[in-house]
Amino acid sequence: MPLSTLPVPNRWTRDQHTANMVSPENHTNGQATTLTPELTYFTANPKPTTLDQGLHQARTFIQHHASSNRRVALVTSGGTTVPLENQTVRFIDNFSAGTRGATSAEYFLQAGYAVIFLHRQFSLLPYSRHYSHSTNCFLDFMTANAEGKVVVEDEYQSQMSKVLKQYEKAKRERTLLLLPFTTVNDYLWHLRSIAEAMQPLGANALFYLAAAVSDFFVPAARMVEHKIQSSEDFHRTSAAAVVDNSATKLPAAHMEGKSLIIDLDPVPKFLKVLVDGWAPEAMIVSFKLETDPSLLAEKARYALKKYAHHLVIGNLLNTRKWEVLFVSVAEGENWVRVEQGLAGNGAEAGDDGSGKKDATVEIESLIVPEVARMHVMMIDNCASSA
Amino acid sequence: MPLSTLPVPNRWTRDQHTANMVSPENHTNGQATTLTPELTYFTANPKPTTLDQGLHQARTFIQHHASSNRRVALVTSGGTTVPLENQTVRFIDNFSAGTRGATSAEYFLQAGYAVIFLHRQFSLLPYSRHYSHSTNCFLDFMTANAEGKVVVEDEYQSQMSKVLKQYEKAKRERTLLLLPFTTVNDYLWHLRSIAEAMQPLGANALFYLAAAVSDFFVPAARMVEHKIQSSEDFHRTSAAAVVDNSATKLPAAHMEGKSLIIDLDPVPKFLKVLVDGWAPEAMIVSFKLETDPSLLAEKARYALKKYAHHLVIGNLLNTRKWEVLFVSVAEGENWVRVEQGLAGNGAEAGDDGSGKKDATVEIESLIVPEVARMHVMMIDNCASSA
């Protein structure tokens, strides 16, 4: 049966042999002869200069935890950028402060996971997120004591001590690896490489894909080198020379009269490739962010069916701090909600990860144990069917 | 003589009467009968909900410092966003961590200015910038002492004590006002309102426009409400319904086949309006960021001539931490450079504002005193010609 017509499999009991059958390599050697965008992407778009170093760190980290049979979660976080120029002044971005990812990473660590935190550079990080932004500037928590030493003010001691202890535990036990990305190209190269490096973990690997990844991008061949000059501002013939002269389409960003036109290609759908080829034994959780409530459930179901992975967590931009929708083959559709009156100060206040008081509940404290429970069940099924 | 054909004036001695002659009100009442984009912008694009509160704070701040004859700098910082949907998932952004603005604000405070810091939400802030990012996470500077209290480690005491003292001085003397923006529309509304509120300061007002402001935007009338659905991902007829049905053009962002097309309008050139109408007596400094060295000086000169303000500071993306080009009518062209061997770790390390060691020189420590010197000279000229 060709891959594209496979029904949604019950992947909780999927066996290793079948998984390998549909890996990209076999697919290429077998019936598929056309070069899909997924297959050509990594030859057409250059490897990030930071990849080798990050991958080296990831391999060391994974080996360390594989040897102790610890579960390892790859948590992706923050939005990817789509640069409009090689020397980037302008870019397209996806809304995400990284709150979901950074908060979830803390709860995965609490649940005993080792966490590779693949995050947008300068987005929120586990632990430091509690003091990251202007509404919670850590300098406001500091004071000079009688001896002139800078210390944390008494009233903030207990909260900061708790955070610092968790942070230092993660450092001491080497359970948290921070790897940054900026562009969607950085992200995709890292995702592929880390996924392949995680294969020795087998079912102990979890992919928790909370990053807001661009659906559209500028292929390297259609990227201009320098900042695009607005014709109104500076009358010079187009500085938008395309780097690769073999490109037949116009540069992705160019002036038409006084307007700037940006023409973006779809990003190949790598979730399918991840599920079938890069991470055949892992549990894979994706997120679906929508703004229109009438689309959410339908789009989450659609994604689960299309990519045949394990769990889609749907959320709406305006209510994502209080409720999310779990959609899985194993358990159907379930809302996870923070009990009324316990939620934080709402989406706006929570954007910076600082809107929550001790008395309130972070929804990630409900999401992560649920995901971990499903993951353990999957690991047990794998073990019993082996 | 109509405004548009005025030669570059020597604004150091420009008299108040002439300045008022070319304010937008007179311009509207006088010879200009066509509605320019600058005049229609604020009726066509809605007032941000946060404006009134920010403006109230700004007025109180300005009155306080006007009464003591203190110089006041409006420092703008960080990149503006251009949302592609009203419920924003995707947006266009301009590269800027806010390092230039946040660092300059500290040196203006040191130079005796009161500073209104109009900044992109979550970009770097004066003082906290020293510990803002992952490479300098403040939790790495903390430890628990013998009594279990969280304190700053000894080796970081001196640096943090210095920063904390400056921060607390600014709070105590109420010389620093932080006002955030996100979109280019937020920015423009704030700039106009604050500029008008600063008029009572006369020549004591300084505009230091370091923010990276979008040259292109999506007018409110061409904005879609919900996240744009990629046709490949979800087959439903366009969710890209334009909010204002009177719009005759297509929504600014829409699908064509598998491509996303974004069609952006130019942002009106408000620097001219600021110079002539909103801030007729103030010193105005703009920045020009380029990536192509061959364009920098020419573009800086062009901007100075076009907007007839006081100083353009030109900088290149790759060298902006070590050298900038001052272009002014009063003093011509001068490079300001950090002495070799004293610069920080380069553009990359400096992006997060933390790449500088105590031994190195921040270029803003050279820029700001130069600007302040020119500003004082302008104030003196105004006083002597009055």
pLDDT tens, residue by residue, B342-356: 665 443 333 433 333
A259/B262 Cβ within 8 A = no
Residue B328 falls inside a structural domain: yes
Say which of B95, B229, B295 has its CB closest to residue A89: B95
At residue A341, the pLDDT reads 73
- Burial class (CB within 10 angstroms; exposed 0-12, middle 13-18, buried 19+) of A237: exposed
Distance from CA of B383 to the nearest CA of A (A): 35
Chain B, nearest residue to A127 by Cα = B139
- Report chain B's mean pLDDT, rounded to a whole number: 84
Residue B9 falls inside a structural domain: no
Residue A172 falls inside a structural domain: yes
Q: What mean pLDDT is predicted for residues B113-142?
A: 87
pLDDT in tens, B51-99: 999 999 999 999 999 999 999 999 999 999 999 988 888 899 998 989 9
Interface test with B, best of A142, A299, A305 (most B CBs within 10 A): A142
Contacts of B236 in chain A (CB under 8 A): 295
Residue B300 falls inside a structural domain: yes
Contacts of B230 in chain A (CB under 8 A): 215-216, 266
Residues of chain A predicted below pLDDT 50: 1-32, 232, 235-247, 345-359
Q: What mean pLDDT is predicted for residues B22-36?
A: 49
The ipTM estimated for the assembled molecules is 0.81
Contacts of B96 in chain A (CB under 8 A): none
Tell me how far apart the alpha carbons of residues B376 and A64 are, in angstroms, rounded to a whole number: 62
Interface A–B counts its CB contacts (< 8 A) at: 201
Residue B35 falls inside a structural domain: no
> Residue B197: pLDDT above 80?
yes
B148/A160 Cβ within 8 A = no
Distance from CA of A385 to the nearest CA of B (A): 34
Say which of A125, A144, A229 has its CB closest to residue B164: A144
At residue B167, the pLDDT reads 95
pTM of the predicted model over 0.80: yes
State which residues form the domain around B110: 14-25+48-218+264-385
Contacts of B90 in chain A (CB under 8 A): 92-95, 214
Number of domains in chain B: 1
Residue A19 falls inside a structural domain: yes
At A350, is the secondary structure helix, strand, or coil?
helix
Residue B177 falls inside a structural domain: yes
A142/B164 Cβ within 8 A = yes
Say which of B144, B226, B230 has its CB closest to residue A161: B144
The more confidently predicted of residues B191 and A15 is: B191
Interface test with A, best of B81, B95, B154, B267 (most A CBs within 10 A): B95
Distance from CA of A243 to the nearest CA of B (A): 14
Contacts of A295 in chain B (CB under 8 A): 226, 229, 234, 236, 239
Residue A75 falls inside a structural domain: yes
CATH assignment of the domain containing B333: 3.40.50.10300
- The tokens 């080829």 sit on which residue? A277
pLDDT in tens, B244-273: 444 456 788 889 889 999 999 999 999 999
A139/B167 Cβ within 8 A = yes
Say which of A134, A151, A165 has its CB closest to residue B151: A151
